[in-house]
Structure 1
């Protein structure tokens, strides 16, 4: 009788692909068409998505190379091998702060959007708290079980999004997508910068490679995992512009939600597709948020081993909630997201790439 492959507390390359895809598909999928339409002309924003996606794949591949170079060590341990323990403590702590901020951002996004479209009379504080409690409960269990939830949810998410895209094709107006290639390169690069936060997530490979059966496959898994949201973002942007026009897309807070609201399934099989879309989107945010909450816990536990996981959950949860409730309106909320993307670019991308260069120059590799 064969052993159950899921009983070894390890994840495979396919699971890493899906985990990265789920980590990337988050709040940004609802707002990114607006930020691109602000900078580019007509239909050309898909080029910005492609540029941002190529940059994300390159950086993600480098992060995968760094993590696969030390397959038997945690992030804190291999940073200590490369740059010394004091720097490892500092960088791991900053990663913990970054993960905590991202979890807060995602949780508040659920509160904002659920209040606007679903629970109009419920205070956003209560919606946010309820979602945090669910994330807290999930993070308290097994890390492997938490990661494997992605295998269950992602196919459903992709299926519903594909259905939304198919049924919006009939609303396309070709006048909205012309003229082609009218944006200059500077505008396209500014649009690519606007997709930055939406494509963040590949940095989780730095922490989860140690759980892989074949850590050497981490770089390829990152590329494959990023390919899914990049393709998804390109098609969603094209449809948003084709249906609403660039001028309208610039003034929609959540263009992707408005796209789903216009869907009508023939025969009345589903009367309100946006309700189904909200359901699967909340499943996606749940996965994304639990990943960041888990990373915040794991980074802190790797440095301060005396406290248990449950103790760290009790410490972190009120901090996450207070940060989530700090923005007083949507302007402050989106400004918080922009600042977070710049902070993450340095902590999650620039410094780890420099660490990879130092490890190669000094010949530092996994010793055990």
Structure 2
């Protein structure tokens, strides 16, 4: 497999961060509070550690085979036909993930901003943006993530930090929460929001220094997870666990209660939504790219552009399948948990088999 090693460690980190931070930032505090009430930050932290375990396995696997894609390395480890089943499952998973994220985006937009716009319009516009961006090569893909990261990350941190002036520390006690029987259920749901980390399997074969992939992974998950954790802390500290459970998108409500110093802007929800739209775009671009690139590798083609338009009607049909927002989130929970088997267990099994058989790729 011929690769172009142009992606730096900083670009790899940026890709990971902007892929993880996405549409899930809005309902994240609700999922965490339903799982552990005041222990919502602890549930988020545990989910972050579980996600890092999956990222660690994906990164170690990529570093072991630094010159080939995930599809090709799985074929080297377990054979072409067995690997084809796993690769096809991953392609289907990321296609469905793209569809559900696009539908969630459309739901938020038509509910909060464009109330007279059909949801089909907002969904298809975002999918077209992701499609056109996914047609780019890996270098343009990396540059887009690096360009948009500061636009998403720094304003989001500022908004969350400013909201803490309205916080009440008592809302965060006890630290481990009260609803422990639902703790693990909530952790699995939150962990599913981090599954964009699988993009590292796409990035590593193109890195200038694949040996530094683990460094990029550690910084990426720490920054993205840190923002998620800070968001949950801020929401729970401002609204309290009981009130948070009554909010469909607590993070958006947090932005509405936040103002700039001297009341330059009394509400930051409009600014936050513009940042969130950018974050959704980068996440959808990555999941779409993972799906079409996986198809390219599976069918041994040299270009992935053929599949970008092919997947669009399929993804759009899946996106419009949920009947309402509650049905949508139920499907997201189920798909996310199934995805944990593909993004954590499957790479772990491949890494174990490769270690037992002593298989290792050529050094970059």
Residues 1-368 of structure 1 aligned to structure 2 (within 5 Å): 10-42=6-38, 44-183=39-178, 186-270=181-265, 272-305=267-300, 308-367=303-362
The count of corresponding residues between Structure 1 and Structure 2 is 360
Task: Give, in whole Å, the separation in 1 of the partners of 2:149 and 2:254.
Answer: 20
Q: Kindly provide the CA deviation profile for residues 160-181 of structure 1, in whole angstroms up to 9, marking residues without a partner as x.
A: 1122123212211344334444
Give the conservation status (yes or no) of the 8 Å contact 1:20–1:226: yes
Task: Give, in whole Å, the separation in 1 of the partners of 2:300 and 2:325.
Answer: 38
Residue 183 of structure 1, CA deviation: 3.3
Give the conservation status (yes or no) of the 8 Å contact 1:32–1:194: no
Q: CA 1:306 to 1:77, structure 2 compared with 1: closer, same or farther past 3 Å?
A: closer
Q: CA 1:274 to 1:361, structure 2 compared with 1: closer, same or farther past 3 Å?
A: same
Give the conservation status (yes or no) of the 8 Å contact 2:45–2:229: yes
Residue 289 of structure 1, CA deviation: 0.4
| Range that drifts further, 177-186 or 82-91 | 177-186
Task: Give, in whole Å, the separation in 2 of the partners of 1:28 and 1:354.
Answer: 28
Task: Give, in whole Å, the separation in 2 of the partners of 1:307 and 1:319.
Answer: 23
Q: CA 1:216 to 1:137, structure 2 compared with 1: closer, same or farther past 3 Å?
A: same
> What is the SS of the residue equivalent to 1:252?
coil
Task: Give, in whole Å, the separation in 1 of the partners of 2:121 and 2:153.
Answer: 29
| Range that drifts further, 217-226 or 178-187 | 178-187
Residue 272 of structure 1, CA deviation: 4.2
Residue 142 of structure 1, CA deviation: 2.3
Give the conservation status (yes or no) of the 8 Å contact 1:28–1:197: no
Task: Give, in whole Å, the separation in 2 of the partners of 1:73 and 1:180.
Answer: 44
Alpha-carbon RMSD across the aligned residues, in angstroms, is 1.8
Task: Give, in whole Å, the separation in 2 of the partners of 1:99 and 1:180.
Answer: 34
Give TM-score scaled by structure 1 length: 0.92
Give the conservation status (yes or no) of the 8 Å contact 1:67–1:209: yes
> What is the SS of the residue equivalent to 1:40?
helix
Residue 187 of structure 1, CA deviation: 4.5
Task: Give, in whole Å, the separation in 2 of the partners of 1:201 and 1:156.
Answer: 19
Task: Give, in whole Å, the separation in 2 of the partners of 1:51 and 1:171.
Answer: 26
| Range that drifts further, 158-167 or 331-340 | 158-167
Runs of at least 5 residues in structure 2 that lack an aligned partner in the other structure: none
Residue 184 of structure 1, CA deviation: 6.8
Residue 135 of structure 1, CA deviation: 1.3
Task: Give, in whole Å, the separation in 1 of the partners of 2:303 and 2:15.
Answer: 25
Residue 25 of structure 1, CA deviation: 0.9
> What is the SS of the residue equivalent to 1:201?
helix
Give the conservation status (yes or no) of the 8 Å contact 1:240–1:259: yes
Give TM-score scaled by structure 2 length: 0.93
Runs of at least 5 residues in structure 1 that lack an aligned partner in the other structure: 1-7
